[in-house]
Chain A
Amino acid sequence: MKKRNKSGKKAVKKAVKKVKTAARTTTKRVRSVVKKVKKLPVLKRVRKVVSRVAQVVESPRDKTEETKYYPRPTPYLPPRQWEREELPDRYGDTRIVIMARDPYWVFSYWEVTDEKRVQIEREAGASWNDLRKVLRVYDVTGKDFNGFNANRYFDIDLHPSAVSWYINVGVADRSWCVDLGVITPSGKFILIARSNIVLTPRDSASDVIDEEWMSIEEEFLKLYGLWGGFAGASPGKARIKKIMKERLQQELSSGGLSSFVRPPNYKGRGFWMVVNTELIVYGATEPDATVTVQGRPIRLNPDGTFSLRFALPDGEQVIPVKGVSADKEEERVITPIVRKSTK
């Protein structure tokens, strides 16, 4: 990826140099070339820009030189993925995408290629870092948006390093389109990329009444209100809206399994301490002997040892351990007595 960027940058630099050395009058032609090749893959695109720009601004002799200095493009081999553990920062696109998060917020993310930056710099006559980056947010509700017919728009100044932004559009049930652009020192807006269009969801009942299914307001409010638990009363539209908002704040799904929802929190807040006691009773006898503890048979390890572990409550525990030899001829009883109390 790095290599690719490097060679890309080099090519870009070269192109810039050439463009700069060319007469200013050719800028327009250069621009149109850039536009035409915009859709090609990155490196190819850069090369194409370079060669086309060369064609535009240079003499035939330079053109020959061009072919000399630039090797034929080799098929692009991306780096093997196993060399990478991280996702790429950029994909070599100039684009902005928006997503409606809720009735009032739209999320946007974008990417601008180096070539596009160069182009914008040239167009704006200022360096990238000196340009104000903005999101121009258009309300395009009910429009077949063409860039000029929005109902209204507003600008958001971006932090220079931002690659995403949450836009507070503030109004539900409207269509939005966002331009990523720069504002030149002279105040001109230059478009970098235009987003898709999203519709923010409605936050209240629709005012559109279906003729065929028309219901009277009061009847609807009764049904609308029922989910809030106030059946029977007609609570009024404003109150319903408020309750709906409150209700949406509540979490009424578990999100599935606890293990990925929340960690155990039984310890509560602040300092805490727990003390418990357990008693281990262990011993050994002939491997083929039969052993009972408090009258219940236990299983011996192959070597005749045994170990038992008991939660030890307060009080006295009398623990007769009885071993009987395999031939039932011999028997032994050992009885530990344990008293536990807690202060």
Chain B
Amino acid sequence: MEKGYLCIVLHSHLPYVRHPEYEDFLEEDWLYEAITETYIPLINVYNGLVRDGVDFRITMSITPSLCSMLADPVLQDRYVKHLDTLIELANKEVERTRWEPAFNRLALMYQSQFIETRRTFMERYRKNILSAFKEFQDMGKLEIITCNATHGFFPLMEVCPKSVRAQVQVGANSYERFFGRRPRGTWLAECGYFPGADAFLKEAGMRYFFTDTHGILHASPRPKYGVYAPIYCRSGVGAFARDFESSKQVWSAIEGYPGDFNYREFYRDIGFDLDFDYIKPYIHKDGIRINTGIKYYRITGRTDHKEAYNPDWARERAASHAGNFMFNREKQVEFLFDVMKKKPIIVAPYDAELYGHWWYEGPMFLDFLFRKLHYDQKTVKPITPSEYLERNPRNQVSTPTMSSWGYKGYCEHWLDGSNDWIYRHLHKASERMSELANSYPNASGLTRRALNQALRELLLAQSSDWAFIMKTGTVVQYAVKRTKDHILRFTRIYDDIKANRVDEGWLSDIEYKDNVFPEIDYRVHA
């Protein structure tokens, strides 16, 4: 009999980036990289576990904006094209590295990996990998949860509760369209919670969400079991908190597993390493070097000198890290069970893209971990939050504190000198959206289309990613442009509706460009 539970949560998200108006759009690569390096490798792991009869549980949020992209035919076709180019590059690499066996072996590995990925994508899932995740959910292995429609960061939307509601409702409805049932729980973008946000989740029929460690440790009244049992907010929605210890083992740049010297070095990609003329067809059309996904080195050490990656050594390390992770969870659960006199739940959430994309061996680690948990011990049982709540319906009532899992634990990453200028526009647009929704409660025809599009534009502008990027300083121009574009489009619709002069041609154009959430109903923002 188990003494406690382990709840692994993978949060997968990408901002809605889709530019059919351009032939080659750099930021669309984020999706293609993630499919090749994270989503399909995870699907492969799940398939392997199911095939081998390993009982596992993973909770996975797939954000509404990501779902929309994964289900979008334009992006699906572009992904296939992207993959074909990648396979072509891998073919060339196999030839080019002929006299360097250590690299040749890796080129062959990538070649077969990409070809296999293409087969999985095209033949097995017919370009829509959401159906893969849905299958695992229907088998009861995976619990897919939703997220704020466009990953809007709630603590900074507290003054616009209508927008919080819209983010939640649109997210839940979108989930239903993709997965054929209502979501049981949600991942609040960046774990961003403010007291009261739970009421909107309740309204949408959701039973739980997650906060960072201090969100619940600092809840009031003081939670008796710390982060090792969920609490119920006043609304009755459950809140689970991240366990710091298990997070640190994987995340930490210093002590974390992914920094092991035998693992693949992320920063040495042939897109940057190889001769420009040779690599040119495989990077951005304007000659901007990008990651191709073909990387030949291992971390090697704290040095610029890198040695060739050795997949066998890496595999061994992944197995031993999985063993170490499990051992630590067993000890942790035993200790907690002793103190609590109750089975603890250890919640270990990660960005899904850490697995595979950042940490190449990450999916393999998960594979080993669930196999070991299944065969090698009885102390810790993998669980989903829904299952936990079914078994433990009685929980303490308390209110988490405002918090996020971002830098310093609150809002600083999304509210600082680089990005604070956006909020006056976002808040104003939110106010105007409500004004519209209330002025036109029963719109039809063109006005209705315009109102629905206005809400799409508002939601897209609210993506926390734009503020995040502005602060991080990578593709700032793009993030600024997206924020402005959506606010300006919103404002034009607002003005046009009020002046009763909606331009159908223009509206059709932005409906085509910003085509997210086809089922949207502007009235959720009333």
Which residues on A are within 8 Å of B, measured CB to CB?
A: 75, 77-78, 80-82, 84-87, 91, 93, 97, 99-103, 107, 109, 111, 164, 173, 196, 198-199, 201-210, 212-215, 219-220, 222-224, 226-229, 231-232, 244, 247-268, 272, 276, 278, 294, 296, 308-313, 317
Q: Which of B404-420 contact A (CB under 8 A)?
A: 405-412, 415, 420
Q: Which residue of chain B lies nearest to A206 when distances are taken between CB atoms in the complex?
A: B220
* In the complex, B267 has a CB within 8 A of chain A: yes
* B30 neighbours in A (Cβ, 8 Å): 257, 259-260
Question: Which of chain A's residues have a CB closer than 8 A to the CB of B123?
Answer: none
Known: A87-B488, A202-B220, A252-B247. 6 other contacts (CB 8 A): A208-B221, A223-B336, A257-B34, A259-B290, A260-B472, A272-B304
| Chain A residues within 8 Å of B265, by CB | 266
List, in ascending order, chain B residues with CB within 8 A of A313's CB: 99-100
Tell me whether A209 and B221 are in contact (CB under 8 A). yes
Per the 8 Å Cβ criterion, residues 449-472 of B in contact with A are 465, 468-469, 472
Known contacts A99-B159, A203-B218, A254-B351; A109/B424 CB under 8 A: yes
CB distance from B406 to the nearest CB of A (A): 7
Stretch at the interface among B47-55, B130-138, B364-372, B394-402: B394-402
CA distance A115 to B98 in the complex (A): 76
Are A77 and B407 touching (Cβ within 8 A)?
no
Q: Which of A81, A97, A100 contacts B424 (CB 8 A)?
A: A97
- Check B29 for interface membership: any CB of A closer than 8 A: yes
Number of interface residues of B (CB under 8 A): 103
Contacts of B415 in A (CB 8 A): 99, 101, 107
**Contact A228 B406, CB 8 Å, known A261-B474, A266-B272, A310-B98:** no
| Contact across chains for A85 and B484 when beta carbons are under 8 A apart | yes
A81 and B488 within 8 A (CB): yes
From B34, B224, B397, give the contact of A220 (CB < 8 A).
B224
Nearest-Cβ distance from residue A274 to partner chain B, whole angstroms: 8
A215 contacts across to B, CB distance below 8 A: 222, 224
Q: Measured between alpha carbons, how far is A10 from B403 in the docked complex, in Å? A: 48
Q: Which residues of chain B come closer than 8 Å to A202, judged between CB atoms?
A: 218, 220, 401
| A contact patch SS | loop
Residues of A within 8 A of B425 (CB): 87
Residue contact B339 to A219, C-beta cutoff 8 Å = yes
Residues of B within 8 A of A213 (CB): 221, 223-224, 396
Q: How far is the CA of A255 from the CA of B465 in the complex (A)?
A: 9
Residue in A closest to B490 when the chains form the complex, CB atoms: A81
CA distance A264 to B273 in the complex (A): 11
Q: Which residues of the other chain, B, contact A231 by a CB distance below 8 angstroms?
A: 332, 335
> Quick check: A209 and B222 within 8 Å, CB to CB?
yes
B226 beta carbon closer than 8 Å to chain A: yes
Let me know if B280 is at the binding interface, CB within 8 A. Answer: no
B195 CB-CB contact with A under 8 Å: yes
Contact in complex: A199, B99 (CB < 8 Å): no
Docked-complex contact B492 and A252, CB < 8 angstroms? no
Q: Contacts A101-B415, A201-B401; is A77 near B499 (CB within 8 Å)?
A: yes
A78 touches B218 (CB 8 A): no
Question: Which of these, A84, A210, A249, A309, contacts B95 with CB under 8 Å?
Answer: A309
Point out the residues of chain A lying under 8 angstroms from B226, CB to CB: 220, 223-224, 226-227
Name the contact of B492 in the complex, choosing from A80, A247, A264 (C-beta under 8 A): A80
Q: Is B330 an interface residue (CB 8 A)?
A: no
In the assembled complex, which residues on chain A have CB atoms less than 8 Å from the CB atom of B14? 256-257
**Is the C-beta of B245 less than 8 angstroms from some C-beta in chain A?**
yes
Closest to A253 in B: B405
Q: How far is the CB of A201 from chain B (nearest CB, A)?
A: 4
Contact across chains for B495 and A78 when beta carbons are under 8 A apart = yes
When C-beta atoms are compared, the residue in chain A nearest to B413 turns out to be A255
A260–B336 touching, CB < 8 Å: no
Q: Which residues of A contact B410 (CB under 8 A)?
A: 100-103, 201
Q: List the A side residues contacting B99 at CB < 8 Å.
A: 310-313, 317
Question: Which residues of chain B in 374-412 are interfacial with respect to chain A, using CB atoms and an 8 Å cutoff?
Answer: 396-398, 401-403, 405-412
Please give, as numbers and ranges, the residues of chain B lying within 8 Å of A77 by CB-CB distance.
Answer: 499
Minimum distance in angstroms from B128 CB to a CB of chain A: 21
In the complex, chain B residues whose CB is within 8 Å of the CB of A87 = 425, 484, 487-488
Cα A308 to Cα B95 with chains together (Å): 8
Q: A102-B411, A254-B354 are in contact. Are A260 and B220 (CB under 8 A)?
A: no
Q: Give Cα A16–Cα B168 distance, bound, in whole angstroms.
A: 48
When C-beta atoms are compared, the residue in chain A nearest to B472 turns out to be: A261
- In the complex with contacts A81-B495, A248-B214, A252-B405, A309-B411 CB distance below 8 A: no
Say yes or no: A210 contacts B396, CB within 8 Å.
yes
